[in-house]
Chains A and B, each alone.
Chain A
Amino acid sequence: MVVLASIRNGLEKLSSYELSIEPMSGSCLQFRISYYMFALVFVVFDVETVFLYPWAMSFNVLGVPIFIKAFIFVSILIVGSVYAWKKRGLEWS
């Protein structure tokens, strides 16, 4: 039935509704910055995880120095996450 009903969109039908006057400006809600903060932190830690996947597959044969290097890698990113935490970037308000 969805296919059979004919849709004929005219110029008047496609314009947005604003109480019989012409629409004033583009309709957009106030942007909440916490969405962006979470996406940013997700990107950073996602890339970190991708770096850790090959290490996780073979760390048992690689030895202690490699473990320490991976530890340094993770700790540098933990510094960043602590900074984000302290600056209240990850709050949902």
Chain B
Amino acid sequence: MILSVLSSPALVSGLMVARAKNPVHSVLFPILVFRDTSGLLLLLGLDFSAMIFPVVHIGAIAVSFLFVVMMFHIQIAEIHEEVLRYLPVSGIIGLIFWWEMFFILDNETIPLLPTQRNTTSLRYTVYAVKFLVPSLILLVAMIGAIILTMHRTTHGAVKRQDVFRRNAISFRRTIMRRTTDPITR
């Protein structure tokens, strides 16, 4: 019963991501999906993954999605008008994805999800490279994003203000000076 309580909102929210009119709603519905998926992982007994899911997926990934939507003012209504035009290609891709999901569920070759008890010793000895490669990926992501935002464009540097100087500007020196000085021209 708990399975259906958790999985049906996940399915509905997943559908609403694509159908929502407001683009911010499209980002908020995956948060519901992640929450339900975390509950499903708890039901499977994978407590570590279930606790990481809200931290990483909601706290980091959904927040990044939200930044993308709000920075670039994505208008979902324009995308919805074009849905029928893209239906053949998107239908084929959707069917391939559907087939992949059933293939994974029916097949026994996919290994179990790791829990803390199973693979801590494995992760750092056998899979040590897989432990260090994500750090390089994260490094590249951070440096790339910082370069892209802080890069000097031809118009000039990124606009900044010095907060302490801004607070230290005195009213008397800037405004009063212009009104009390004799006009010399």
Contact = CB atoms under 8 A, between A and B. Distances in A.
A80 B158 contact: no
Given A37-B146, A40-B142, A54-B48, 16 more contacts: A26-B73, A36-B71, A39-B67, A41-B142, A57-B116, A57-B120, A62-B124, A69-B128, A69-B131, A73-B131, A73-B135, A76-B139, A87-B150, A89-B146, A89-B149, A93-B161
A35 interface: yes
A77 B146 CA distance: 14
A84 B48 CA distance: 31
Contacts of A72: 132, 135
Interface of A: 26, 28, 31, 33, 35-37, 39-44, 46-48, 50-51, 53-55, 57-58, 61-62, 66, 69-70, 72-73, 76-77, 79-81, 83-84, 87-89, 91-93
A43 B63 contact: yes
Interface of B: 48, 52, 55-56, 59-61, 63-64, 67, 70-71, 73, 116, 119-121, 123-125, 128, 131-132, 134-136, 138-139, 141-143, 145-146, 149-150, 158, 160-163
